[in-house]
Amino acid sequence: MTGGIAHQAAAAMPHRMSPPRGRMPEAKFVPVQADAQANAKPVDLSGYTRVKQELVAPPFAPEHEQVATGDPKIVEITMDTTEVLMVVDEDTGASVWALTYNGSVPGPLIIVHEGDYVELTLRNPADSQMEHNIDFHASTGALGGGGLTHVYPGEETVLRWKATKPGCFTYHCAPGGAMIPYHVCHGMNGAIMVLPRDGLKDKDGNQLKYDKIAYIGEQDYYLPRDENGDFKQYAVAGEDYADSLDAMATLTPTHCVFNGAVGALTGPGALRFNVGETVLMIHNQCNLDSRPHLIGGHGDYVWESSFSDAPMTGMETWFVRGGSAVAAMYTFEQPGVYAYVNHNLIIGAMLGATAHFVVEGEWDNALMEQVVAPRSFET
């Protein structure tokens, strides 16, 4: 059998520059897959409308419909695998050469409807140090697309896949071997939400709508330290590879943060809502388990798995299995500052996994009232 993407790529290899560091051997399944692809029947998508989705930086969501209008579409998106020096904690000077999709940790939130196609153009900038790809947990086949999207610096590729499973899903880079956790633990992951065409529903089939999305990516970092205990600095992406593997092997993160850095979603980065607004919190954790909790609020509806399943209701804390994304919906009833945390409180309070939701509106004494302000008492 000749032809096929992998064979063509292999034939082209001798004329290329030597692979950048981080290049991993092709997975053994690829020739089998390439043969199957070479024999595959072409698919006719001429009846589909094409739309472009402009991706935006977290914690925000791209423009989208909650209930789809019209037939399934081909949704075109573009992501660049940029390598960015990012401060993780200003107080300690901890930094990381983040490996990213579109320059952010997490990568941008993608939103489509069940039955749509996602058509991704994945570009690896020429000044990158490393090879990248993408594995969509929402997709079917070829390691989630990971086997078809390896791009070297200066290369681009286009992958199209059908969103057949409704729910929130993680996506991440997966170059192979230890490079997989290395890239994931350098920020190279994000989430896609595949909505049912008729939107979200409760267990009785009643429509559930949200006013805003809070897209939160929880990221565990394993940052190497020098002999004095200070975080090491590196000149280029990938230079920390050997040190990082040693740090990762401890299974003990130095940081576990929301949206890339300690405090990214507090202070000026806090999310803002009003009493009466309904927020859909989308939480992505590509590596570790997490236990999101909204201090002072609840998960009115929580989908830990498929949107095809009825949501859990009235949750105090919900669960994100490492390597997945979940959605939780809540309508604010009181004003104030809510802390959204990983309720492993060591991770939430000491490693960085805390966000603040600042909610404006009128206080409801019927729900809570300070009957006596703190005061001294007679003994």
Contacts of residue 293, Cβ cutoff 8 Å, sequence gap at least 6:
316, 317, 318, 340, 341, 342, 343
Query: Which residues form the interface with Cu ion (CB under 5 A)?
Result: 99, 132, 173, 183, 188
Residue in 40, 42, 24, 32 with CA at minimum distance from that of residue 6: 32
Residue 145 CB, nearest distance to Cu ion (Å)? 13
Q: Which is nearer to Cu ion, 238 or 299 (CB)?
A: 238
Q: Can you tell me whether residue 68 is helix, strand or coil?
A: coil
Q: Which is nearer to Cu ion, 20 or 336 (CB)?
A: 20
The amino acid present at 294, given as its one-letter code, is L
Alpha-carbon dihedral sign for residues 239, 243, 246, 248 = negative
The amino acid present at 311, given as its one-letter code, is P
- Read off the tokens for 213: 């999305």
Tokens 């072409």 label which residue?
Answer: 42
Q: β-strand 167-172 against 135-136: which pairing, if any? A: antiparallel
Residue 80 CB, nearest distance to Cu ion (Å)? 12
Q: Which is nearer to Cu ion, 132 or 293 (CB)?
A: 132
State CA 106 to chain mean position distance.
Answer: 5
Q: Which is nearer to Cu ion, 99 or 329 (CB)?
A: 99
Residue 188's alpha-carbon distances to 63, 86, 98, 210, 252, in angstroms, are: 23, 13, 8, 28, 19
DSSP 350: I
273, containing H or E segment: strand 271-274
Residue 182 CB, nearest distance to Cu ion (Å)? 8
Residue 101 CB, nearest distance to Cu ion (Å)? 9
Q: Can you tell me whether residue 124 is helix, strand or coil?
A: coil
Q: Can you tell me whether residue 69 is helix, strand or coil?
A: coil
Residue 174 CB, nearest distance to Cu ion (Å)? 8
Phi, psi torsion values for 101, nearest 5 degrees:
-105, 115
- Catalytic residue numbers, as ranges: 132, 135, 137, 172-173, 183, 188, 293, 316-317, 343
Q: Which is nearer to Cu ion, 188 or 329 (CB)?
A: 188
Q: What are the DSSP calls for 241-265, one per residue?
A: HHHHHHHHTTT--SEEEETTSTTTT
By beta carbon distance, the residue nearest Cu ion is: 173
Contacts of residue 378, Cβ cutoff 8 Å, sequence gap at least 6:
none
Residue in 50, 62, 144 with CA at minimum distance from that of residue 102: 62
DSSP 101: B
- The number of C-alpha atoms within 13 Å of 167 and in the hemisphere containing its C-beta is 23
Residue 258 CB, nearest distance to Cu ion (Å)? 21
**Cα separation, 62 vs 295, whole angstroms:** 27
Residue 234 CB, nearest distance to Cu ion (Å)? 16
Q: Which is nearer to Cu ion, 183 or 291 (CB)?
A: 183
Q: Which is nearer to Cu ion, 126 or 366 (CB)?
A: 126
Residue 321 CB, nearest distance to Cu ion (Å)? 22
Q: Which is nearer to Cu ion, 188 or 200 (CB)?
A: 188
**Cα separation, 133 vs 149, whole angstroms:** 5
